Copies of this chain bind each other. A is one copy, B any other.
Amino acid sequence: MNKIDICLSPDLIHQYDLASTVVVVIDILRASSSITTAIAHGVKAIRPVKSLGECRELQLLDHVGAAERGGKRVGGFDMGNSPFSFMNPDLEDKKIAMTTTNGTVTLHKSRGALQVLIGSFLNYTALLSYIKRLPCDILLHCAGWKGKVNLEDTLFAGAIVHGLKQQFEFDSDVPQMAAILYAQAKNDLKSAIQSSSHVTRLINFGQEKDIDFCLEMDRYKVIPVLKGNYITKLKLSDMLF
């Protein structure tokens, strides 16, 4: 039986053998939700970059620049990290260079995996339908906050474990822990994460509507996938079965 595990922080990713594993990157508030939204709304490709400098260079070249640090949009860039800004029809068929506090770091640290997917509540069922048929191990890679474990990413990982039921064997105690936390929270996710550190931070920045949006289940059917330097929409030919 293939295995499923959860890496609760990018600072723990060295513990996992990625080469034979499909990794799902999770940064619910907000990078993975925003990437899902962008791909669903017709953005051609997103290039996740680690530094503001790289993002600026690509913006100067031919990309739209999206930059966030500490929960806020960075001055001098076309946009920040709010999922609503990625719905803009002007972005259709455009390439976006994106850098965020946690999500883009997590994407980079997932390189070397058999395939790197992006998961969020917004594309939960689409993602689940694909990964439950995968003939290999799965690692759910939570972005957390500056290396620290956070609640909302763990809850989403728990939702995936919950959805996969007995089809994968747990490779550590974490899938069980995350599934218990999700079972407790699932009837009212908003209340469950109300006192989480990043929710408090975003509400202080006036971004509560982003939180409501990022907790919406199954708004989109797309699965973003990282191929080379770019995130695009998973196509039939990308599927590993």
Residues of A within 8 A of B (CB): 8-9, 11-12, 14-15, 145-151, 154, 172-174, 176-177, 180-181, 184, 195-197
Contact = CB atoms under 8 A, between A and B. Distances in A.
B181 A197 contact: no
- Copies of the chain in the assembly: 2
Contacts of A176: 151, 195-196
A147 B177 contact: no
B172 A12 contact: no
A208 to B, nearest CB: 18
B11 A12 contact: yes
A121 B231 CA distance: 47
Nearest to A184: B180
Given A11-B11, A11-B15, A148 B177 contact: no
Contacts of A145: 172
B173 A197 contact: yes
B154 A172 contact: no
A179 B154 CA distance: 15
Nearest to A12: B11
A172 B150 contact: yes
B147 A173 contact: no
A147 B12 CA distance: 8
A149 B177 CA distance: 10
A172 B197 contact: yes
Contacts of A12: 9, 11-12, 147-149
